């Protein structure tokens, strides 16, 4: 029995809708941020507003290596300057639809990876 893996499942995504996300132990309104040991709702945020200043308070609560950004029903892309700025923080970033982002987050979380999920 691996307790570490079970501990890392505490913030796994159970379900997601247009306005809420259900974790294994709570529900959040979107936009929100979820990582292995931390979760929080956020004020209105768009993909264009994503930068070092908005990410730093979130990623400083829990060490992450990769950030998955859920952008709604359809995937959208960060502009190259945003990608470079986030990578300079030592964080890889991927954008995709919200459903795909939640699935990828759970998959990486089950592999005991240091992952963050930002749903916009």
Model pLDDT for residues 14-36, shown as the tens digit of each residue: 999 889 999 988 999 999 999 99
What does each of the 120 residues of the chain score in pLDDT, given as a tens digit? 222 334 445 788 999 988 999 998 899 999 999 999 999 999 888 899 999 999 999 989 998 999 999 999 888 999 999 999 999 999 999 999 999 999 999 999 988 899 999 999
pLDDT digits (tens, 9 = 90+) for 37-46: 999 999 888 8
Helix ranges (H only) for 1-120 are 3-8, 52-59, 80-88, 98-110
Contact criterion met (CB below 8 Å) for 116 and 35: yes
pTM passes above 0.75: yes
Contact criterion met (CB below 8 Å) for 94 and 107: no
């Amino acid at each position: 029995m691996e307790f570490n893996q079970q501990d890392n499942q505490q913030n796994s995504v159970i379900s997601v809708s247009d306005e809420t996300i259900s974790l294994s132990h709570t529900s959040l309104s979107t936009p929100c941020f979820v990582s292995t040991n931390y979760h929080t709702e956020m004020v209105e945020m768009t993909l264009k507003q994503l930068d070092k200043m908005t990410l730093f308070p979130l990623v400083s609560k829990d060490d992450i290596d990769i950030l998955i950004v859920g952008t709604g029903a359809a995937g959208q892309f960060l502009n190259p300057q945003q990608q470079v700025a986030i990578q300079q923080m030592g964080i890889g970033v991927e954008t995709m639809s919200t459903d795909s982002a939640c699935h990828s987050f759970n998959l990486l979380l089950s592999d005991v990876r240091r992952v963050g999920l930002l749903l916009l």
